[in-house]
Amino acid sequence: MKLIDIHLHIGHLFEWSKDAVKLWMDIGSYKPLIYDQQGLLIPERYLEVLYSENVYGGVLLPEYSPETAGVLPVERVFDVHRLDKRFIPFGAVNPNYHHNLLDEFKRQVDMGVKGLKVHSVHGLFFVNDKLLYPVYEYCQENKIPVMMHAGTSVFPKTKLRFADPYTFDDVAADFPELTIILCHAGRGFWYDIAMFMIKRHQNLFIDISGLPPQKLFEYYPGLTKSIDKFIFGTDFPGVPGISKNAEKIKNLGLNVDSLKSIFYRNAVNVLKFWEEGDLSEY
Ligand SMILES: [Zn+2]
């Protein structure tokens, strides 16, 4: 079964902080495959690795977190998107980094981004910061999906309070028409709240990246009943293995229909960047 991986990170090796490389990227074996000797990302290789892992398409994420993860500028996402349009460019803004958030995001949209990633835990802000509201308003009006890192991080200097579940609930409540995907939702200590939130908010979804797949039922006991709310993602290149993760999900005992939902159908339906017919051929 082909996969859509909606959580792919991209940037040159030297743009990541040393801690990010050590604590996150090095849990996978991908580093030597996708960078050259100088640490420059090789877009062709990045794609080859994804194809070899059965990935059909995905979402490419930049990040602006100078204090923790690093600055991985939006420009990088186009290096891969240019080669394969099934890999969708997203933008990112940080109230501690960008001057005018709406202007900056519009600049990124003009460049071609199709969604927004907000990383409050690495960027050291709250997702319900009022400075972000004009950007959410713009995304809601223009039907642009928003992904939010919604859980803890092991990186030094990150602070738990920026993962406060109720700040995510604020945004979902204030922008009921906005499509929001909670990445690694509830990681650390609020999986039950995340589960409650996807039931409460119609346009709220969970991407299961950065979570050990064998524990999904432990984290989300109601997963089967809300199967349309869970979307496959991995946090590549900081993942032990994309197809390994998929295998572990297959071993959970879900039926084929549920697996299709998680692996690609929900991504197709929620984000609307791909056609299900193109995937079911495989
Ligand atoms: Zn991530």
- b/e burial code for range 41-75 (CB count within 10 A of at least 16 → b): bebeebbebbeebebbbbbbbbbbbebbbbbbebe
Compute the distance from residue 256 Cα to the ligand 1 centre, in Å: 27
CB 4 within 8 A of CB 262: no
Asked if the model's pLDDT at residue 248 lies above 80, the reply is yes
pLDDT band at 280 (very low <50, low <70, confident <90, very high): confident
* pLDDT tens-digit map of 54-97: 999 999 999 999 999 999 999 999 999 999 999 999 999 999 99
Q: What is the pLDDT of residue 221?
A: 96
Compute the distance from residue 254 Cα to the ligand 1 centre, in Å: 25
Compute the distance from residue 212 Cα to the ligand 1 centre, in Å: 14
Asked if the model's pLDDT at residue 1 lies above 90, the reply is no
Compute the distance from residue 27 Cα to the ligand 1 centre, in Å: 13
Q: What residues does each domain of the chain span?
A: 3-280
* pLDDT tens-digit map of 92-109: 999 999 999 999 999 999
Residue 109: CB partners within 8 Å, gap ≥ 6? 91, 142, 144
Compute the distance from residue 10 Cα to the ligand 1 centre, in Å: 10
Residue 281: CB partners within 8 Å, gap ≥ 6? none
* pLDDT tens-digit map of 109-118: 999 999 999 9
Compute the distance from residue 149 Cα to the ligand 1 centre, in Å: 7
Q: What is the pLDDT of residue 279?
A: 87
pLDDT band at 282 (very low <50, low <70, confident <90, very high): low
Reference 120, options 110, 128, 112; nearest CA is 128
CB 175 within 8 A of CB 200: no
Identity of the residue numbered 29: S
Distance CA 33, CA 38 (A): 13
Reference 121, options 92, 150, 145; nearest CA is 150
* pLDDT tens-digit map of 120-169: 999 999 999 999 999 999 999 999 999 999 999 999 999 999 999 999 99
Residue 225: CB partners within 8 Å, gap ≥ 6? none
* pLDDT tens-digit map of 180-201: 999 999 999 999 999 999 999 9
Asked if the model's pLDDT at residue 281 lies above 70, the reply is no
The pair of structure tokens assigned to 161 is: 């309070």
H-type alpha helices, the chain: 18-23, 31-34, 43-52, 75-81, 101-111, 120-123, 133-141, 165-174, 191-200, 216-219, 242-250, 256-260, 266-271, 276-280
- What burial class does residue 86 get, using C-beta atoms within 10 Å of its C-beta: 0-12 exposed, 13-18 middle, 19+ buried? middle
Compute the distance from residue 237 Cα to the ligand 1 centre, in Å: 9
Output the CA–CA distances (angstroms, integers) from residue 91 to 77, 105, 236, 271, in the order listed: 9, 7, 17, 15
DSSP 13: G
Q: pTM above 0.75?
A: yes
* pLDDT tens-digit map of 3-29: 999 999 999 999 999 999 999 999 999
Residue 280: HSE in the Cβ half-sphere, 13 Å Cα cutoff: 10
* CATH superfamily, region 3-280: Metal-dependent hydrolases (3.20.20.140)
Compute the distance from residue 182 Cα to the ligand 1 centre, in Å: 11
More confident residue, 1 or 86: 86
Compute the distance from residue 175 Cα to the ligand 1 centre, in Å: 23
CA dihedral 215, 264, 197, 145 (to 10 degrees): 140
CB 105 within 8 A of CB 138: yes
Q: What is the mean pLDDT of residues 243-249?
A: 97
CB 27 within 8 A of CB 35: no
Write out the residues surrounding ion ligand 1, Cβ under 5 A: 235
